[in-house]
Structure 1
């Protein structure tokens, strides 16, 4: 496998430069040993990439290396775009966070709620994963059989599952990660905007931020040469994931594909930039982003994100850590063999982006999820991000 790398534009005495140097000594070996096929990494400070690494292959069959143009699947990081879209609609006066979800998704009236009427579940509950819905989309899916759809392709299939949908705890009482809840947010976006979810996000987030190599599901022909394949490693054997998997009606959960330079543009929007703040405010005002980054519930008992700290909280579509007086926000993704990690410290204007095209262990909601090579590497990258704050 080949690799290209950048060096941090800082003096050797800088804490981050020293920490990054130590990290680099073992980084690629730690990916190679468990069979990770490809990975990319950016560290950002003041809207500039100060360190980067591209490891391995985007396509093992064609021996095509990972490079700066490689396009990955970002999975559940898509949920942050969904949250931003909901807040855009809120700021435009088209909805309120305390609106009952059934106002927009009346099909949910058929769900079983032993804790009260379904009108008690609000949009804010969906944004904070506190509505009481299950984690998975399908209630009966059996593994990843080729003849099964990757995800439900039509809303009617989701609606047909409503009578089999149960609320598992009192809405608003605690956090429990839920993919169906974000599907309902995507439905609300489509109903209020009169656009397909993908079209709305493209018009209101991707295009204003000039994310021209970002798209949902099927790869445009002119970008196919940059698209990464995905892989699974089980018992030392590697298999290939579905190429261009169709997330269907669950697109608001995890349908985004993008290059790292495009994700850098998204990160810079989140960090803010005085030179571009007028454009960024046109996407979402800074005050609204800050509102999204306020802790709502503890999320530390959930291990699906793969790196939760003991006091990790959930805000509105973002996860939050307060460490040594600094607030870190971000989200992770895991789908179809891809694993992705986005972390930023808005007050220091620093961030990290880490992504793999290989899943070396199944994701489970338990402490064992912290032991996968991808999760271990993500925690090391997060520690490096912390050292970057101390270097300022």
Structure 2
């Protein structure tokens, strides 16, 4: 039994180290970026990040339950065994293992039967063994639950939370049985665990609290959502040969003038508008061909959410019905945004046009450092904020 438990212990410890190393390499962008995945260490295999956060907590919780099943049986055997076997202390007669050594030292302290030889630092060794047998597992499951929250997917975080709750119950049951068996030899059947009304109520309340917290962090109110940090990340991988808007415009300008037979390409005069429209159409087509992450959720028209004063750029797809419902806001950007500086400038201009907005005071936190001082580009002249009732709500 000790040999089987020890084998399970090392297997579980290896699985936890494997999951822990993988967690250190996971970034928030892995949940949102196009074609992003998590690379498993040692085997160097890429798996979808969401699949990892579904499979890993189940694997850890199942291994932990299997391990503690062996431990509970081991507690029974060590608790019932005599203090000496053929004149040899029990701790010296069985196969050495960190967990059995700590268990027998606990028995010696609780019973005073000298079942094992007192050794230096045995108290520290017991604490370390408890941390490895119980604490390390729960820390990994907690991190799996915590790091899954930025994905904003309740069912995925709920799986990790449920595995954490079950592992806490399993570990608590194992500790309770350890204390019972080491305190005194087993005498008949002891009262079963988790059968009292208070215990059942505690389990239900604890489980419901974990699920409620998981929901609030993933799909609850915006102020309670888990932090999602995508600053400086490439949401879409840049294709080879992709040019900035300014460089692409200059290159296309030369081709366009050659095709149109215009010699003075620096001054197009009244043809400038035709060139700008042609470039905007081709640039929009090129942007549309880029892979896009599927993170948006449709906003039902009947929710009554007011997006009229929100800053939406050309990357946000809205239906004509939704645009009409919001009263065709004039500050929504429908054209091509040249670059990041243009984006942050328009966003800042939209905010500064309404200085009473709370985000106006937090611009330094919202904008990335590189574009925090981007010149503000105000909305079109005459664009007024819509403060009255929404269309159809009068």
TM-score normalised to structure 2 length: 0.23
The structure whose residues are more often strand, as a share, is 1
TM-score normalised by L of structure 1: 0.23
Q: Which has the larger radius of gyration?
A: 2
Greater helix share, structure number: 2
More relative contact order in 1 or in 2 (CA 8 Å, sep 6+)?
A: 1
